[in-house]
Amino acid sequence: MSAGVISHQTAPMARDDQVYDAVRRRVVLFPLPFQGHISPMLHLAELLHARGLAVTVLHTDFNAPDPARHPEFAFVPIRETLPDGAASPETDILAQLLALNGACEAPFRDALASLLLGQRPPDPDVACVVVDGQWYTALGAASGLGLPVLTLRTESAATFRSMLAFPRLRDAGYLPIKDERLDELVAELEPLRARDLIRIDGSDEDALRGFIARIADAMRVSASGVVLNTFDAIEGLELAKIQDELSCPAFAVGPLHRMCRAPAEHSLHEPDRGCLAWLDAHPPRSVLYVSLGSVASVGPGVFEEMAWGLASSGVPFLWVVRPGSVHGTEGTPRMPDGVDEEVRSRGKVVTWAPQREVLAHKAIGAFWSHCGWNSTLESICEGVPVLAQPCFADQTVNARYLTHQWGVGLELGDVIERATVAETVRMLMTRREGDRVREKARQLKLQADQCVATSLAIDNLAQYMLSI
């Protein structure tokens, strides 16, 4: 491991008295307003607060977090005005991220400047700002106000590393991704193949490359530190390589939801807790949990194949079907004719689940997942093997690591087709191949537990925040 990585094994011991000197200093956080970004940022906030830092959360009105969940934090809306369509789930995610960055830069700067102006002793002064890694405009704005600013990466170290490598991948001919090179290993990013690199179907490749370049440039120019929601046991090599490329320290503080003693629920939707009682009625490891996260959606044809595949697998399942998660449907998508009966006898469909509790439930045998990074960490921490159906962005990277690096998942394949679905589900849930993957998942969970029990990374981060 290179000298600068402040992670679990290499962490210098933080003395308690040093950490608790943090009392009466403030950290200002600015989460990106999506489920997979709000949760890790607020978990980081909980951990910093527990180490004596006061916390202010600046936030957009769009997908605003619920202040009632954290009376101990100050919540300040930046009062942005978004262009038409920018907040709509129908809008392409890249266009949404570009619009959010454009529209929030000035209101974020103004809100932060007012906060600084309003600061009066004995108020805690602002030690530093932490912005989500995708807020490249906010990163520059906070630094422009003279504040140290850190960036929270809510994706894996492998994904972040691939983002840093993007300009080189173009020179090496991997980008734009070519059909004939899809299965080629990317020389500097193994085990990733060209097909695993970040992509957003339907989005312009140049726009994606431009977006990633802005993120990397802003970070290189303005960040005093990089905080990653990952840990050495799963990504030690990737972390070391990242540190070699950065001139500021990287802190591997994950898995954030497990580092919190009693992590608060930060759901933007009301979870259907009835599914926990439904799970109680099932034998251990018998149920397949199916969820494609908070953003991904599928076409009606894929939805139908998923439904029929589940129905004919013979395996009990708990399926999260979000309103709007099938293209062209406004509300909650209807089950295809004929599948309803199967669902009533062997399955349960909900619009939103208390996912962490579901994955921790003994009845869960595997997780059919889109492989978002939070879902990936949550399944690793519960020792639940994964059936990988990556949809876009970093999900292909995570799927590759789950299936090939850590060996805790099986691929569902590019084409979702009912017979393959049913066969792969049965393989994972009921056959020896599934047992092998499940055993690896169990071992990886033990490593995660060990990391959680011994990590000093958050203490070191808090200490660093007070020193810059």
Positions in the binding site for ligand UDP (CB under 6 A): 35-36, 39, 267, 291, 293-296, 320, 352-353, 355-356, 372-375, 378
Q: With respect to ligand UDP, which residue has the nearer C-beta, 37 or 59?
A: 37
Phi/psi of residue 77, nearest 5 degrees: -75, 145
Name the token pair of 116.
Answer: 């600084």
Q: Which is nearer to ligand UDP, 274 or 314 (CB)?
A: 274
Nearer to ligand UDP, 26 or 258 (CB): 258
Q: Label residues 3-31 b or e (16+ Cβ within 10 Å = b).
A: eebbbbebbeebeeeebeebeebbbbbbb
Tokens describing residue 180: 């004939």
Structure tokens that stand for 408 in this block: 């805790």
Residue 215 or 320: the one with the smaller Cβ distance to ligand UDP is 320
| C-beta of residue 377 within 8 angstroms of C-beta of residue 337 | no
The amino acid at 137: T
Q: How far is the CB of 228 from ligand UDP (least distance, A)?
A: 14
- C-alpha distance from residue 38 to each of 227, 309, 326, 374, 409 (Å): 15, 33, 24, 11, 26
DSSP letters, 135-165, are -HHHHHHHHHTT--EEEEE-S-HHHHHHHHH
Angle between helices 232-245 and 432-454 (to 10 degrees): 60
**Please, which residue, 101 or 294, has the CB nearer to ligand UDP?**
294
In the complex, the smallest distance separating the C-beta of residue 126 from ligand UDP, rounded to whole angstroms, is 28
In the bound complex, what is the minimum distance in angstroms from residue 271's beta carbon to ligand UDP? 6
Q: Which is nearer to ligand UDP, 179 or 201 (CB)?
A: 201
Instruction: In angstroms, give the least distance from the CB of 161 to ligand UDP.
Output: 18
Point out the residues that are catalytic.
37, 132
- Residue 166's alpha-carbon distances to 172, 224, 241, in angstroms, are 10, 22, 15
Nearer to ligand UDP, 29 or 353 (CB): 353
Which of residues 295 and 408 has its CB atom nearest to ligand UDP in the complex? 295
Q: Output the smallest distance, CB 47 to ligand UDP, in A.
A: 16
Closest listed residue to residue 194, CA positions, set 24, 361, 37, 396: 396
Q: Which whole-number Å values give the CA distances from 295 to 34, 225, 243, 429, in the listed order?
A: 8, 28, 30, 26
State the minimum distance, in angstroms, from the CB of residue 403 to ligand UDP. 16
CA-only gyration radius of the chain, Å: 22
Q: Least separation, in Å, of the C-beta of 155 and ligand UDP? A: 8
Please give the structure tokens belonging to residue 96. Answer: 């949404």
Q: Which is nearer to ligand UDP, 267 or 332 (CB)?
A: 267
Alpha helices in 223-338 (DSSP H): 232-245, 256-259, 274-280, 300-313
The SS3 of residue 365 is strand
Closest approach of ligand UDP to the CB of residue 244, in Å:
27
Nearest CA among 442, 455, 19, 443 for reference residue 259: 455
Output the smallest distance, CB 377 to ligand UDP, in A: 8
Which of left, alpha, beta for 202 (phi over 0: left; psi -120 to 50: alpha)? Answer: left
What's the token pair of residue 181?
Answer: 């090179």
Closest by CA to 465, choosing from 154, 52, 155, is 52
Q: Work out whether the CA dihedral 90, 91, 92, 94 comes out positive or negative.
A: negative
